[in-house]
């Protein structure tokens, strides 16, 4: 089966490399942009669980690359909300109306950037706030494939940048993606085809994450935040367009 799909997997691998690199630099964005590509190549019901498998490998590698700068307390609070809602969202995937959810998320992301421009020094959120952030992220990610941009404003407001931001966000993402995989398996969405495709794309995602780590060490905190905000606007526009 994989031999017959080699041209398609080659295209998917190139996309996975480029967007894993983007995620490693900006802390998010790869999953949001990769979902339309995977959907066009494989169909939505295959694309969402397959994207989750590639995100597990990419985020786990980003955690390892930034392991010295992780904020474990934030990761714990995030996981407390993310895990149960990711499982619930994974079980609902086959029946949920995805279009309205995407448009709502798009409005939120663009609104957050406008708010940050008007309030350049927002109040630092409490650690317990990240339980609610994790819950919203877990549910949205399970239904839409990836909502990494949803968490970015909160980690930035907490004061995390570069390695601390990328590694901590990735660790939180690993907890919800593993929960999604369990739910997809229970819902018969984690088929042999999905697993094989996910494994085939893993080398490209790891290579992209490693390359992105090399780049992010060369940019300033100010440039990093600007890149994240550009990514938020781009992701919001994609969601509004229904992609």
Tell me how far the alpha carbon of residue 16 is from its chain's centroid: 13
The pTM of the full predicted model, rounded to 2 decimals, is 0.69
User: If you write DSSP's letter for every residue of 88-124 in order, what string do you get?
Assistant: HHHHHTTT--HHHHHHHHHHHHHHHHHHHHH-SSPPP
pLDDT above 90 covers what percent of the chain? 5
Sorting pLDDT into bands at 50, 70 and 90, what band is 72? very high
pLDDT by residue (tens digit) across 182-225? 877 776 777 787 888 878 888 888 888 788 777 766 766 677 66
From CA 30, how far away is CA 52, in angstroms rounded? 11
At 1-56, the pLDDT tens digits run: 555 667 777 878 887 787 777 777 665 556 666 776 777 777 767 777 888 888 88
Q: Which range among 114-123, 125-134, 174-183 shows the weakest confidence by mean pLDDT?
A: 114-123
Judged by DSSP in three states, 2 sits in: coil
Angle at 180 between CA 5 and CA 97, to 5 degrees: 85
């Amino acid at each position: 089966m994989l031999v017959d799909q080699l041209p398609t997997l080659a295209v998917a691998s190139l996309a996975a490399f480029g967007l894993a690199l983007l995620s490693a630099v900006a802390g998010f964005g790869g999953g949001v942009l990769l979902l339309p590509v995977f959907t066009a190549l494989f169909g939505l019901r295959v694309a969402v669980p397959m994207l989750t498998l590639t995100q597990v490998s990419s985020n786990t590698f980003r955690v390892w690359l930034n392991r010295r700068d992780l904020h474990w307390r934030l990761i714990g609070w995030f996981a407390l909300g993310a895990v149960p809602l990711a499982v619930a969202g994974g079980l609902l995937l086959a029946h949920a109306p995805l279009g309205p959810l995407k448009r709502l998320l798009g409005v939120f992301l663009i609104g957050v950037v406008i708010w940050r421009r008007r309030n350049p020094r927002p109040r630092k959120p409490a650690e317990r706030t990240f339980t609610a952030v994790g819950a919203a992220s877990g549910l949205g990610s399970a239904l839409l494939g990836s909502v990494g941009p949803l968490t970015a404003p909160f980690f930035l407001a907490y004061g995390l940048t570069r390695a601390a931001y990328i590694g901590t966000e990735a660790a939180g993402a690993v907890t919800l993606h593993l929960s999604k995989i369990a739910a997809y398996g229970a819902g018969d969405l984690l088929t042999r085809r999905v697993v094989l495709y996910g494994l085939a794309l893993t080398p490209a995602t790891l290579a992209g994450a490693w390359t992105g780590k090399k780049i992010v060490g060369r940019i300033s905190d100010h440039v990093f935040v600007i890149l994240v905000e550009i990514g938020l606007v781009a992701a919001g526009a994609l969601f509004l367009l229904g992609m």
